[in-house]
Every structure is written in C-alpha cells, then in structure tokens.
Amino acid sequence: MIIYFTVSLKEQSVQRMQKETLMSVIAHRLNPLRKPSPDAFHGTSPQKVPANDRTLMPPARVGLLAAIALLGMNGCGGHDDSPAQPHQGQAPTVKIAQPLSQEVTEWDEYTGRIEAVNSVEVSARVSGYLEKVHFKAGDRVHKGDLLFLIDPKPFTAQLNYAEAELERAKSRHELAKNDLSRAEHLFRAKAISEEEHDARSKGLRETAAAVQSAQANLYTARLNLEFTQVRAPIDGRIGRELITAGNLVNGGGGDATVLTFIVSTDPVYVYVDADERSVLKYRRQARKKGRGSLGDAHTPVELAVADEPDFPHQGHLDYISPREDAATGTLTLRGIFANPDELLSPGFFARMRIRQSVPYPAILLPDRAIGTDQAQRFVWVVNQQNQVQYRKVELGAHIGQFRVITQGLKPEEWAVIEGLQKLKPGATVNPERIPLAKRDGEN
C-alpha cells in the first residue's frame, strides 16, 4: 500500500501536517500488522511477508501506539475559539461582632465540699429497749425536741431506790447527831470515857458522808431517767432513724448505739485547698487594702453548686489554716455562706472562687472566636473591604464563657465569631454582623 502525502503549506499549518503524518503511520501499522519499513514513506512497494515473519507487531503494542498517537493529537489540537471561563467560588458567609468592652474582675476558682457548721451524731446515753420514735425522718428540729424514748421503768425504779436510800442516810445522820449530843453531856460529867466520845463524834461524820453519797446516787438515778428521753442537742435538719422501736440500745462509752444524726443548715461552710502562691497573693492584696488578715469578713468569695453555671451565692472567708500541708503544698481555706432556703446541703460538691484582682476595664471575646496555631492564639478580623486578616492576640483571664483580650485587638474592630474553619488570610467573606450578649460576659 502506497501512501501519498499532499501537503499545501499555504492551506495547512505545520500543526495539521503532524496530525496527518501520525494518522498515516497508524493506518499503515494497523493494515499489515507489522513494523513499517524505511521505504514506507518513499513510494517503494512493500515486500510480501512470510507467515512466520517476526517483524509482525503484537496487538498490545499496536494498541499502545494508537493510544500514544491519540494523546499526541489531543496535545497538539487546535485552539478552541471560545476560551474557558474560570469558576468563581461564592464568598463564605461568616458572623462577625465587635468585642465587648466592660469592667471585669478576675477570680480564682477552686473545688471543694460543703460542710455543716454544726454536725452531731445522736447516741444513746443509757442502755435499754427503744420504746418510741418521736420525729419524722428529714424534719427540721430544734434544740431540746424529744427524738427517742427508751423504756424508763427500770430507771424509775432506780430513782425510787435512791430516794429511799437518801432518807435512810438522813435518819441515821439525825440519830448520830443526837447520840453525839448526849455523849457530850456525859463526857463533861465524866460519865463516859474519851474513847466513847470520839466514837460518837466520828459516827456523826460517817453518817453525814453517807447522806452525801445517797444524794449523789439520787442525782445519778435522776439523770439516767432523764436520759431515757433522747432530745435534740442542736437546731438543724435530722436524718432518718438508724434504730427502730423495740430494739435494745447500748448507752455510754465507745459502744454507745448511734440513733440518728443532725446537721445545721444555715449558714454552711465550704472548704477548699489553695496553693502557696495564691495564698500569698491574697494576703498581699488584703494588706494593700488595709483589710488586715486574709480570713476576715472583707475577703469576698462566691459559690456555685453542680447545676449552676454562674456563681449566685455570696459569702466571705472566715478561716485560713495556719500551717501548710507539706505533702500537697496547699493551705485549707474556708468560706461561709448564708443558706436560708436550705438549697445547699452538707456534702455537696461545690465550686468556690476568690477574687484575685480589683475591677478593671477590658475587652472580651467568646472562646469560640479564638483559634489556636500551635502555641499561638489568633482571631480573624474583617476589614472594610470584607477581607479577613490573621491577627495574633494575647489572652487574659476567663470571664464566664469569654476571654479577656490583652493585646492584638481593638474595641472598634470586627472579629469573626462563627465560621472560622472556612477562612484563610486575605479571603473575601460575606459578613453578617451580630451583637454579643452582654450578660454572657458579666462577672
């Protein structure tokens, strides 16, 4: 097969020549399925190919050459008359706001437990059978209220016996007194010996001591009878009865049966452990303000329990441990809080914070508006052309859900609050201005 090339340089470009040449080569190779000879493009007739000619091209190599040729054609293709338009992405929408400008106070926060000012385990003071319970579990009781009654009959009998013994001791004492009076008359009349007179005199003193002993036994019997009525030793809230009626209880000593417990509820204590540096800071602040010691009534503290995000309970420090715990490097601080509605119960987990600075003006941003770049913190600031700028900032204390910005941001600038993950320096955004709720940034 003879391939003729008709090329007109005036009508065809060099690029079109390359296309046709490639197509001719492919057509020739696909027809005889063999390698083209050097004469293929010089008008020489091809020779017959024997059946076992090894110059035949394998089909896989033919397909590979065809693919290379097509790729070359696509790369050398003509120019499209309509140039492609670049895709323009839509500017991301972000929410921006100006930082809050307000006066803030810094606090140090600690965790601790609420404790009762007064707490008592009510135990039996005499042994006997518990006869009756006179309160309802959880009631508020007052000092002197009857709580339990232990069977008083044995103690009533002991009291009666002690009263009788006292009367007998008194009668013996009266008899001894009369005997001594008669002995003195006889002794002056030389009717009795001095030894007899001394015996009568010592007998009177012995009976006087017996009267005092009987009086003491009577007092003990009365106390034991009184102890059968178990009364509240303090005002407060009482727990459940730990022993029910009909049970034998032991009184006195280390084996005394605990019957219930009472805790005072207003006010309450909160104990926390503060590190050495913090305590030194609080003491210096107290001295600068002329408040005297740290544990006086002028050191304000605030309290929050488990379900309270803020610190609604106000109190003050009233005690600081005079000695540091060497094992932990901390000192125990105690705050006292009013609890008229009994919302705070002894044993509750609590967060107490102590004021560590005087109020000062500051600008604040929500935590969600602050990004982290390794060890640096930054915010995105939107300028008047709606372009974002990367701004490194210095952070101060936490104020609620906000952070104090000490450097890097001005009050009149607009910072991105939501949509930080869509941004890069210099990007154009579609900003939506929103106000920051001032109540979220309050102390």
Count of domains for the chain: 4
Clarify whether residues 138 and 240 are in a common domain.
yes
Task: Kindly state whether residue 9 falls inside one of the protein's structural domains.
Answer: no
Domain stop point among 355, 370, 402:
355
Clarify whether residues 196 and 69 are in a common domain.
no
Task: Kindly state whether residue 1 falls inside one of the protein's structural domains.
Answer: no
Clarify whether residues 375 and 437 are in a common domain.
yes
Phi-psi domain of 290 (left: phi exceeds 0; alpha: psi -120 through 50; beta: other): left
SS (H, E, C) 123-176: ECCCCEEEEEECCCCCCEECCCCEEEEECCHHHHHHHHHHHHHHHHHHHHHHHH
Three-class secondary structure of residue 58 per DSSP? coil
Whether 423 contacts 388, CB under 8 Å: yes
Clarify whether residues 366 and 382 are in a common domain.
yes
- The CATH number assigned to the domain holding 411 equals 2.40.420.20
Clarify whether residues 67 and 33 are in a common domain.
yes
Clarify whether residues 332 and 378 are in a common domain.
no
Task: State the pairing for strand pair 93-97/430-433.
Answer: parallel
Clarify whether residues 141 and 155 are in a common domain.
yes
- The CATH number assigned to the domain holding 333 equals 2.40.30.170
Q: In 3D, which of 195, 194, 356 has the Cα closest to residue 279?
A: 356
- Beta carbons within 8 Å of 14's beta carbon, 6+ residues apart: none
Clarify whether residues 158 and 239 are in a common domain.
yes
Task: Kindly state whether residue 431 falls inside one of the protein's structural domains.
Answer: yes
Clarify whether residues 135 and 251 are in a common domain.
yes
Clarify whether residues 292 and 242 are in a common domain.
no
Tell me how far apart the 2 most distant CA atoms of the chain are, in Å: 189
Domain stop point among 329, 355, 381:
355
Task: Kindly state whether residue 18 falls inside one of the protein's structural domains.
Answer: yes
Domain of 372, in residue numbers:
96-103+360-441
Task: Kindly state whether residue 66 falls inside one of the protein's structural domains.
Answer: yes
Predicted confidence pLDDT, tens digits, the chain (443 residues): 333 333 343 344 545 655 665 565 555 554 544 444 444 444 444 444 444 444 444 544 545 445 454 444 444 444 444 433 334 568 888 888 888 888 888 888 899 999 999 999 999 999 999 999 999 998 899 999 999 999 999 999 999 999 898 888 888 888 877 777 777 777 677 777 777 767 777 777 788 888 889 999 999 999 999 999 999 999 999 999 998 998 999 987 778 889 999 999 889 999 999 998 888 888 887 777 655 555 555 678 899 988 888 888 999 888 888 888 888 889 999 999 999 988 888 989 999 988 877 788 888 888 888 888 887 889 889 988 888 889 898 888 877 788 888 888 888 889 888 888 878 888 888 888 888 876 444 44
Whether 180 contacts 203, CB under 8 Å: yes
Clarify whether residues 141 and 160 are in a common domain.
yes
- Beta carbons within 8 Å of 353's beta carbon, 6+ residues apart: 107, 108, 109, 110, 301, 302, 311
